[in-house]
Amino acid sequence: MMYFVMTCDIVHSKEVTNRLEVQEELKTVIKQINIDHSKKIISPFIIVWGDSFQGVLKELTDFYSIFERLEEDLSFKFRCGLGIGTISTKFSRNSLEMDGHAFHRSRAALKIASDNGRTAWILSENDSFDQLTNSLLTLLTTLKLQLTDRQKEVIHLRKQGLTYEKIGKKIVTEKEENITKQAVSNILKSAHWEEIAFAIETLNKLTYPKC
């Protein structure tokens, strides 16, 4: 059986001055994610090694939706490594009690992400799968890093299923005026929303190829 181990850490954690506040925020966020995504998580996220957190997912398709949830809810930057493989110990709800290829690859993927300035990286025993998936992750991250605050705001509302008209009524300009449907369309187009949405949809449908 293949396991999907997600290990994340805080970027530049040693430079964080308000460590207590950051850790409390992290505890609150992962607790809520464990509740809201309970059907997707087989070993709940817990804090490990002080500035890192780890959980085991049910399916590969669950990875990016949880990653995005972390992006939305955490106020600080983080990175993730996803390891795909077997475990060599008895399964436990506590990920610290387990070991095996999935855990080794997860930590190795996190190191690759850290060494290369990536937000997320996936590592398995299938090199072709890893290359294709990580290329998509890198391109998606590059697009998202270029977004302005206004573009992020509009995309967030669009993800919630709001129409252009309803988004326009929620967005207020510096002149305290709402924006038009055409303006919403222009913002989404300049943000490459269709390309981002397609990449996210692809990641959310990922399945690990059986040997």
Q: For residue 46, what is the domain's CATH number? A: 3.30.70.270
Residues 177, 89 share a domain: no
Residues 155, 122 share a domain: no
Kindly state whether residue 105 falls inside one of the protein's structural domains: yes
Residues 104, 29 share a domain: yes
Q: What is the pLDDT of residue 179?
A: 85
Residues 161, 106 share a domain: no
Q: What is the pLDDT of residue 174?
A: 53
The range of the structural domain enclosing residue 155 comes to 149-190
Kindly state whether residue 7 falls inside one of the protein's structural domains: yes
Q: What is the pLDDT of residue 175?
A: 54
Residues 100, 33 share a domain: yes
Quickly count: other Cβ atoms within 10 Å of residue 41's Cβ. Answer: 21
Total count of domains within the chain? 2
Q: Could you list the mean pLDDT of each consecutive 10-residue stretch along the chain, which spans 211 residues? A: 95 79 93 95 92 94 95 93 96 95 97 95 97 96 93 93 92 72 95 95 91 59
Q: What is the pLDDT of residue 176?
A: 55
